[in-house]
Amino acid sequence: MAEHNVAGTIGQTFGRSDLDYTPWEFWDRAGEADKVRQHALQEVLAAERGFVLGERCFVSELASVTNETLELGDRTYVAAGAYLSGTLRAGRDCTINPYTVVRGEVRLGDAVRIGAHTSLLGFNHTMDDPDLEIHQQPLTTKGIAIGDDVWVGSHVVVLDGVTVGDKAVLAAGAVVTKDVPAGAVVGGNPARVIKWRTGPDRPSRRRTDDLAGAVAGFAAAAREQAEVVLDRYRNDVGGLFTNRPGAAPTVRAQCDAVEIADLLLGGPPPWQHATDLAEVLRSWQDPATGLVGELGDDRRPVPPEATILDPSTGYHVLCVGYALDLLGSRFAHPLAVFADASAADVVAGLEGQDWDTGAWAAGHWVDGLATALHWNTRLGVVNGRGTVEALFGWLLRNADPGTGMWGRAGEPEGLLQVVNGYYRATRGTFAQYGLPVPYAERVVDTVLAHSRDVRYFAPARQNACNVLDVAHPLWLTRTSGYRGEDVAALARRLLSDALSHWTPGQGFGFQAPDPTTSSVSATAPSLQGTEMWLAVVWLLADLAGLSDQLGYRPRGIHRPEPAAASWPGPDPRRPGVTGAGG
């Protein structure tokens, strides 16, 4: 009888926690009470620890979850026996199986499946001091980044600093000590490529010919719809352009319309004569400072502050100047605040930027400064003695040999600020003036590493700024030939994504449209999004060898050639030499 009772007890308890070990089945098989308990657990984790958990996630009560930061996308599971600490950000449909260890700084893309007894170790001990015991020496963290649709087998070890590309496979027992290319299958200790899931011997189903046809089809459709797209953003009162229908006119919207019309129609926007539109833009320039302020309620610019440090007018230096250039005109007045600046003022402005945590804003300021000096030269205005030399000298001296860029990478944004700031700073300086960038190969390495960050480059998370800011540096450094196959592969992938972002008759939104982000206002089509993505498409297509399919080439703010090539007067890079006509 006793034996019967024991057997009965075992029969009742055996398998009660099986769903903790097969969590992908939980929401389909669990009883209602267990589901309520899981919801309650997740509410506690969110309220007390600030964790962010998507729909139909599961976190086993038999797991050890001690993270400072934890973000799990929809349908992502943490099984029994898993040990999580540090910072983990995971996309949708990820599985962290039994007895998996995920520690340190770790990012998972979408659909990452991790086998049992695997360790992702996004930190490391130092051992610089042989007289100090290991446990007393400081830790370092570079972080681990794993792309979309990656299969990590059982008993795998991934060490700190490793990036794993999309669609890769890490075979059971692999010890991964260096980056894994997208589509590679790696195994062994240390892991090496043993075959390809996609890649050299398993090409993508989308052939280059298919992409070429898609590019040509997109270009034809965009040109056919150009007038309808531009008319959508034209204000009924005064005919000024707005970034979105119903919004107030802005300075930038007029310039974006000029750029779009030039790309797709080969001239000014319909309904407007180039001379009339140029006079409107010229009239908005403040004669005293040379700057263009934001439009007020009376649709006239608010007088800008007389300083080279005003960030609100910086982009107008770029967009108004290039819009006028496309219209066959130029600024009516010198950009006096920049012409009056000294080399010391330039250096002080550079030193005053927050390069460590705000590299994008710093690059934005550099872009405006360099472009203002460019327009003054075009007008025949003499800038302050040594200002251009001070600008380039500071940038050359302060470029990081490790990244080729300026600023410092780190969480919570990773390389975003550094790469985006690099685009803005080099667009206005090295690219615009036709000079080679320093550390070109390191720039390529940095941009390619950043492009694997699924927070910004998964299809649903892309925006025009982030994609432009990797496309342009790669185009700028393309003649180095360094990692050319990797660059071309990335360009093809991002180009394919970009073509799908177009909304017929409306253009591009700043952020990629996707069902999961339909409520985000930036996904709605706009003039800014359309202007930027059209330039992005050209840069990516050119990197992929397909730009001839587009039938357009940027001539304005995103022109690939140095703007200095079209200077009619003396070329400041070569005293006494006149610039060739561009």
| Structural domain includes residue 173 | yes
> Would you say residue 267 has pLDDT above 80?
yes
Confidence bin at 1 (pLDDT 50/70/90): very low
Q: Which residues are catalytic?
A: 125
Regarding whether 270 and 187 lie in a shared domain, the answer is: no
Q: Does residue 312 lie within any of the structural domains?
A: yes
Residue 140 identity: T
Please tell me the total count of domains within the chain: 2
Residues linked to residue 578 through DSSP beta bridges, in sequence order? 570
Q: Residues 184, 303: one domain?
A: no
What integer pLDDT is reported at residue 199 of this predicted model? 52
Say whether pLDDT at 3 is over 70.
Answer: no
Residues 273-317: tens digit of each pLDDT: 999 999 999 999 999 999 999 999 888 899 888 888 777 788 999
163: part of which helix (H) or strand (E)? strand 163-164
The model's pLDDT over 345-369, given as tens digits with 9 standing for 90+, comes to 999 999 999 999 999 999 999 999 9
Distance of CA 493 to the CA centre of its chain: 14
**525-566: pLDDT as tens digits:** 999 999 999 999 999 999 999 999 999 999 999 999 898 655
pLDDT score of 236: 67
Q: How far is CA 461 from the centre of its chain?
A: 9
Q: Are strands 101-108 and 144-146 parallel, antiparallel or unpaired?
A: parallel
The confidence band for 30, taking pLDDT boundaries of 50, 70 and 90, is confident
Q: Which pTM does this prediction carry? A: 0.65
Q: Are residues 154 and 252 both part of a single domain?
A: no
pLDDT digits (tens, 9 = 90+) for 317-335: 999 999 999 999 999 999 9
The pLDDT of residue 15: 52
> Cβ-count burial of 445 within 10 angstroms (0-12 exposed, 13-18 middle, 19+ buried)?
middle
Confidence of residue 184 (pLDDT cuts 50, 70, 90): confident
Phi, psi (deg, nearest 5) at residue 68: -75, -40
Nearest alpha-carbon partner for 253 in 215, 281, 212: 281
Q: What does the pLDDT read at residue 131?
A: 81
Would you say residue 71 lies in a domain?
yes
Q: Which two tokens stand for residue 332?
A: 């009516």
**342 vs 547: CA distance, rounded Å:** 41
CB 465 within 8 A of CB 421: no
- DSSP string of 554-581? --STT-SS-GGGG-SSB-TTSTT-BPPP
CB-based contact 98:78 (threshold 8 Å)? no
Residue 306 belongs to a domain: yes
- Regarding whether 268 and 138 lie in a shared domain, the answer is no
Residue 582 lies in a domain: no
The DSSP letter of residue 516 is: G
Looking at residue 134, its pLDDT comes to 82
Please check whether residues 31 and 101 belong to one and the same domain: yes
207's CB contacts (< 8 A; 6+ apart) are: none
Kindly state whether residues 173 and 274 are assigned to the same domain: no
Is 214 domain-assigned? no
What is the pLDDT at residue 205? 43
Shared domain check, 321 and 176: no
Residues 162 and 256 in one domain: no
Q: What is the CATH number of the domain that holds 136?
A: 2.160.10.10
Residue whose C-alpha is closest to residue 466's, from 350, 360, 544: 360
- Host domain of residue 85: 2-196
Q: Which of 175, 196, 217 is the last residue of a domain?
A: 196
Tell me: do 176 and 253 sit in the same domain. Answer: no
Residue 215 is encoded by which pair of tokens? 């590019």
Tokens at 45, concatenated: 């984790």
Q: Does the residue 11 lie in any domain? A: yes
**Do 118 and 64 fall within a single domain?**
yes
Q: Do 35 and 113 reside in the same domain of the chain?
A: yes
d(CA 127, CA 136): 10
Are residues 164 and 72 located together in one domain of the fold? yes
Among 333, 361, 379, the domain-final residue is: 333
CA 170/CA 154 separation, integer angstroms: 9
- Per-residue pLDDT, 57: 95
Does residue 72 belong to any structural domain of this protein?
A: yes
Q: Which of 180, 196, 212 is the last residue of a domain?
A: 196
Select the highest-mean-pLDDT range: 1-15, 60-74, 120-134, 184-198.
Answer: 60-74
CA distance 341 to 382: 11
d(CA 292, CA 312): 9
pLDDT, averaged across the chain: 89
CA distance 543 to 560: 12
